[in-house]
Homo-oligomer: A and B are copies of this chain.
Amino acid sequence: MTSRGGTIVQKYGGTSVGSAERIRRVAARIARNLDSRRGLVVVVSAMGDTTDDLIELAYQVCDEPSDREMDVLVSTGEIISSSLLAMALRHLDVPAISLSGPQAGIRTDTRHSKARITAVEPERVLRELTRGDVVVVAGFQGVNPEMDITTIGRGGSDTTAVALAAALRAERCEIYTDVDGVYTTDPRIEPRARKLTDITYEEMLEMASHGARVMHPRAVELGEVYGIPILVASSFREVPGTLIHGGSTVEPVNKVRGIAHDFDIAKVTVRGVPDRPGIAARIFEPLAEAAVTVDTIVQNASVDGIADLTFTVSRGELPRALRLVEPLARELGGAGIVTNDRLGKVSIVGTGMQNTPGYASRMFRTLYDAGINIELITTSEIRITCIIAEDRVKDAVRALHEAFHLETSGPDSELEAAQTRRARAERAPD
């Protein structure tokens, strides 16, 4: 067996390893599909609610736990699940060994609770792979130059898996989760949503950043940088998932690949601000310093040197944003602030849309026909987003899914569509 080349990195999320019973099921699946000619690295999250329980314990002990100690505390969750999965594999006569993030060579910077991976030193992993062991790695954690344990923040275990795959030059990274792939849109909103066979990194990033929470964008970006194909599939059922990769997609006919949506949008319009250099900076710098995540920014055409500046934030961040922007608006002599916190957004995503005319107009026409008013429009190279009323988001998703014929994938799609229907029928509710 060579430990390079053919290596596969798999990741199982918190729901997938949420109980002793589920850990045994994951082990059985690994044993069943094991290819002894390939190295296998399995990254695991903490079991179900373990992380929340540990955090609660910390807050029972003090009001403001230090980030360093919090990392020491919560990182035990992934260590526990990694050792249990290794035990379960050995019980099935699959040689296996668990490694903590530090042991697996995940080096990070010093920012506790949101560390960035600075390097992966996979010597220990390679040694265990060469011995023929399945290497079970505790996700979400690494070690900083002080040799203290760190956690790597949101999307942690996905990022661990892709980073390890990159360092091992693995053939593929497989993310097993409680959804069975990337759908054209959320099947809970549009029952005719179809699972995609594949999608490009960029499309996935746009889907992920605009409300499709299958994978954290950070892990997708890392996969793109290192060219690691990522398979997203169900950890509960053995059905084909969705492959995220860099090449052109298998389905070239329909350039819209999916509909993303988000119910949680608040809009702030600063009216009548002078249209001169530096005004936008003065408004957005304090927001950035306060770590308010601003999503869409639109400035309308200036009339007589006066413009309206509009941006969106999540609903929870609206009060904080207003506290920062209101004094500035007064200072700038604007005509006041208008807000709307009952908004959502809907996006169509697909490589090459911008080079092909007609997608934007078809999107706007579809929303108009459904009687949905568009509050704001923004676009990227592979995405068109409309901000609309929150209570019309579902209607918009359904109308657009139909308008762009996403329930079928074109000429070759019949077999795939049948498979998708079957998969959906079997899908475990979550």
Contact = CB atoms under 8 A, between A and B. Distances in A.
Contacts of A88: 61-62
Interface in A86-124: 86-88, 90-91, 97-98, 100, 103, 124
B60 A87 contact: no
Contacts of A20: 57, 60-61
Nearest to A90: B66
B58 A87 contact: yes
How many identical chains are in the complex?
A: 2
A426 interface: no
Nearest to A58: B87
Contact of A24 (B61, B84, B87): B61
Contacts of A73: 79-80, 83-84, 87
B72 A90 contact: no
Taking residues whose C-beta sits less than 8 angstroms from the other chain, chain A's interface range is: 35 or more
**Listed residue (A23, A54, A58, A76) with the most chain B CB atoms within 10 angstroms of its CB:** A76
Nearest to A63: B91
Given A20-B57, A90-B66, A76 B72 contact: no
A68 interface: yes
Greatest chain B CB density within 10 A among A61, A64, A70 is at A61
A82 interface: yes
Contacts of A98: 69, 72
A70 B79 CA distance: 11
Contacts of A80: 54, 57, 73, 76
Contacts of A91: 61-64
Interface string A391-416: 00000000000000000000000000
Given A20-B57, A98-B69, A62 B87 contact: yes
Q: Which of A58, A63, A69, A124 has the most CB of B within 10 A?
A: A69
A76 B51 CA distance: 13
A65 interface: yes
24 contacts: A54-B80, A57-B84, A58-B83, A58-B87, A61-B84, A61-B88, A61-B91, A62-B87, A62-B91, A63-B91, A66-B87, A66-B90, A69-B97, A72-B79, A72-B82, A72-B83, A72-B86, A72-B98, A72-B100, A73-B80, A73-B83, A73-B87, A103-B147, A103-B148
Given A20-B57, A61-B84, A69-B97, 19 more contacts: A20-B60, A58-B83, A61-B87, A61-B88, A62-B87, A62-B91, A65-B87, A66-B86, A69-B86, A69-B98, A70-B83, A72-B79, A72-B98, A72-B100, A73-B79, A73-B83, A76-B76, A103-B147, A124-B147
Leading 5 A-B pairs by shortest Cβ distance: A20-B60, A62-B91, A76-B76, A72-B83, A73-B83
